[in-house]
Amino acid sequence: MKNGYERFVRPLLFSIDPETAHHFTIACLRAASGAGPILGWLKSFQPKPDPRKLFGLDFANPIGLAAGLDKNGLALPAWAALGFGFIEIGTVTARAQPGNPRPRIFRFPEQRALINRLGFNNDGADAIAHRLDKLKRSGRWPGVPIGINIGKSMSTPITEAGADYLYSFQRLREFADYVVLNVSSPNTPGLRELQGADALAGLLGTIGEKNMNPRKPMVVKIAPDLTTDQLGQIIAICETNNVAAIIATNTTLDHSSVPADKDEQGGLSGEPVREKSTSLIREIVARSTIPIIASGGIMDADSAREKFAAGAQLVQIYTGLIYRGPGLIREIADAIA
Ligand SMILES: Cc1cc2nc3c(=O)[nH]c(=O)nc-3n(C[C@H](O)[C@H](O)[C@H](O)COP(=O)(O)O)c2cc1C
């Protein structure tokens, strides 16, 4: 049976261009973030607490907001009020950048999927640090862990990626409970090369040298389109560099589930990435004890249960939220309680 969001809100949002719908939703949640009574009303949808502890952090429940929905950290109090157990903002880059030309988000309702080629449109590390600082001083900082996901500015050559990530890391670390190195978005040319053994070891080393007092948990977000060999190397490098967790996975470049005449360039998310992401989690769990945050195709209670059964400690949702609305948080929470 359809929930209230699917019956009343989604038809309205889906009647307008995807990116316009996105900006409208973020604007509403941003406004709500400054309005106590609305936050109070949103809280009435919250699931019961289901505390989890991972890499030294206390999570109110294991269901998080995936990166990319609130790239600029505009609505943290509202996401927390809706019941997310943790919130990941970003991807943030060292420099502000507009991303790729529009249109750049496409819906595939029959497949319960999205394709995006946004290209890290964001306000940049300086502006976002300033915004987070203001929120902290306002006393409205949420009570759940905040992850900050960082990536490479489009204009920085891949050979200088380390300095670009380091700038964002140093600018934003004080606001982050954990920091994610995004080396897996398909929309910044060359970015996925940073999943290669030498490049990833170099990047983790560069950040690791400056990650002291206090040391922030570092998390690596990987693509679903990796060979067994590539995955093995990533796991080994994450282990030697004391990476706190792996986020598996980002969007896929495998578009075989999308009708060829409607296909678009970019990363595919939602239902079609579910199985691929889950099998990658199983592969990691078979080889390592490194904690896993699952992302990819969590659209309902069953797909969330599948990730926990595969060995994930936490899950994150993006496309599921677009198709199912915030009721999905409670649906998953009730199913795993
Ligand atoms: C429109 C859109 C924008 C995204 N932007 C980012 C991003 O900036 N950084 C990132 O690490 N992942 C980004 N993602 C990937 C999601 O965080 C998530 O890992 C992926 O979509 C798979 O999960 P899902 O099937 O629940 O959507 C984006 C996804 C979508 C659909």
Q: Which tens digit of pLDDT belongs to each residue from 2-22? A: 999 999 999 999 999 999 999
Measured CA angle at 130 (ends 118, 147), to 5 deg: 60
- Of 253, 125, 246, 86, which is closest to residue 185 (Cα–Cα)? 253
The set of catalytic residues is 185
Q: Name the percent of the chain lying above pLDDT 90.
A: 99
| pLDDT for residue 150 | 98
Q: Which helix (H) or strand (E) holds 67?
A: none
Give the pLDDT score at 45.
82
Among the atoms of ligand 1, which is closest to the Cα of residue 299?
Answer: 26
- Provide mean pLDDT across the span 229-254: 98
Given the CA of residue 321, which atom of ligand 1 is nearest to it?
26
The model's pLDDT over 156-203, given as tens digits with 9 standing for 90+, comes to 999 999 999 999 999 999 999 999 999 999 999 999 999 999 999 999
Contact (Cβ atoms closer than 8 angstroms) between residue 294 and residue 301: no
- The mean per-residue pLDDT over the stretch 66-78 comes to 98
Tens digits of per-residue pLDDT, 260-300? 999 999 999 999 999 999 999 999 999 999 999 999 999 99
The ligand 1 atom nearest the CA atom of 114: 31
Residue 37 has pLDDT above 90, yes or no: yes
Specify the pLDDT at position 187: 96
The pLDDT, as a whole number, for residue 279 is 98
Residues near ligand 1 (Cβ within 6 A): 66-68, 71, 90-91, 105, 114, 116, 118, 120, 149, 182, 185, 221, 250-251, 269-270, 273, 295-298, 317-320
**What mean pLDDT value characterizes the chain?**
97
Confidence of residue 121 (pLDDT cuts 50, 70, 90): very high
Which stretch of DSSP H or E encloses residue 203? helix 197-209
pLDDT of residue 56: 97
Residue nearest to ligand 1 atom 15, measured at CA: 250
Helix axes 228-240, 197-209, angle to 10 degrees: 20
- Average pLDDT estimate for 73-91: 98
Residue-wise pLDDT for 126-155, tens only, equals: 999 999 999 999 999 999 999 999 999 999
Predicted local confidence at residue 157, as pLDDT: 96
pLDDT reported for residue 1: 86
- pLDDT band of 240, cuts 50, 70, 90: very high
- What is the residue-wise DSSP string for 72-119? T---HHHHHHHT-SEEEEEEE-SS-B--SPSP-EEEEGGGTEEEE---
Pocket test for ligand 1, best of 84, 91, 100, 251 (most atoms within 8 A of CB): 251
Cα of 105 vs centre of ligand 1, distance in Å, is 11
